[in-house]
Amino acid sequence: MAQGTLFIVSAPSGAGKTSLVRELIESLDGIQVSVSHTTRERREGEVDGVNYHFVEVPSFEAMVEQGDFFEYARVFDNYYGTSRSAVQAMLAAGQDVILEIDWQGARQVRAQLPDAVSVFILPPSREELERRLAGRGTDEHAIIARRMRDAVDEMTHHDEYDYLVINDDFTTALRELQSLVIARRLTLERVSEHHAPLLAALLD
């Protein structure tokens, strides 16, 4: 069976990445999100095994030692990593796979799999990003300023990606992401592999 494509999606917090990716996989068949391992605390509403595999630091370090991670990084004081075997199994089954990872992980993936397609999602303006990071307005100024600094740090790496999507209008941004996935499925290589009998019959 033809291998699926690996998509890397990165964004600063507040760009709407998680909602866009959720809609993307619901709107298309044959595409899944890889569930990362993390050492960070579970947030309210998050489900172990669905949003992340929540693990303790020693377990994470043991996985690093065993070479279980395709990529991993320390992001905001916690470890995050992508299971190599899980991703390989999905790709081998012909599924397209999305990795929602930061710029450090993206670099590691590109180094191992130059064919991976990488997308960076940007907010529509600095003001809108600040508004989204301020949330309900209950957080202290220093906390919001720290989130803003982290977001700007992540955005400085936007030029390492193949595609940029600006999330101003959600529906437009979603359509743009869908287009990237669909276009990739129409490459000569993918169509020739998937439709080898058709091509053989047409050219007979």
Judge residue 80's burial from the number of C-beta atoms within 10 Å of its C-beta, 0-12 exposed, 13-18 middle, 19 or more buried. Answer: buried
Alpha helical stretches, state H, 43-83 = 57-65
Which residues, at least 6 apart from 108, have a Cβ–Cβ distance to it below 8 Å? 70, 71, 72, 73
Closer CB to ligand 5GP, 18 or 191, in the complex: 18
Least distance (Å) from ligand 5GP to the CB of residue 197? 38
Least distance (Å) from ligand 5GP to the CB of residue 65? 17
Least distance (Å) from ligand 5GP to the CB of residue 196? 34
Least distance (Å) from ligand 5GP to the CB of residue 105? 2
Q: Extract the tokens encoding 114.
A: 């130059």
Closer CB to ligand 5GP, 53 or 190, in the complex: 53
Which residues, at least 6 apart from 46, have a Cβ–Cβ distance to it below 8 Å? 52, 54
45 is in an annotated binding site: no
Closer CB to ligand 5GP, 95 or 104, in the complex: 104
Closer CB to ligand 5GP, 96 or 100, in the complex: 100
Using CB positions, name the residue nearest to ligand 5GP: 105
Which residues would be at the binding site for ligand 5GP (CB under 6 A)? 13, 36, 40, 71, 73, 75, 80-82, 100-102, 104-105
Residue 67: other Cβ atoms inside 10 A = 8
Residue carrying structure tokens 């450090």? 104
Which stretch of DSSP H or E encloses residue 142? helix 141-155
Closer CB to ligand 5GP, 23 or 193, in the complex: 23
16 is in an annotated binding site: yes
Angstrom distance (rounded) from CA 115 to CA 109:
10
53-54 and 163-166 beta bridge pairing: unpaired
Least distance (Å) from ligand 5GP to the CB of residue 174? 18
User: Which segments are annotated as binding site?
Assistant: 11-18
User: Which segments are annotated as binding site for ATP?
Assistant: 11-18
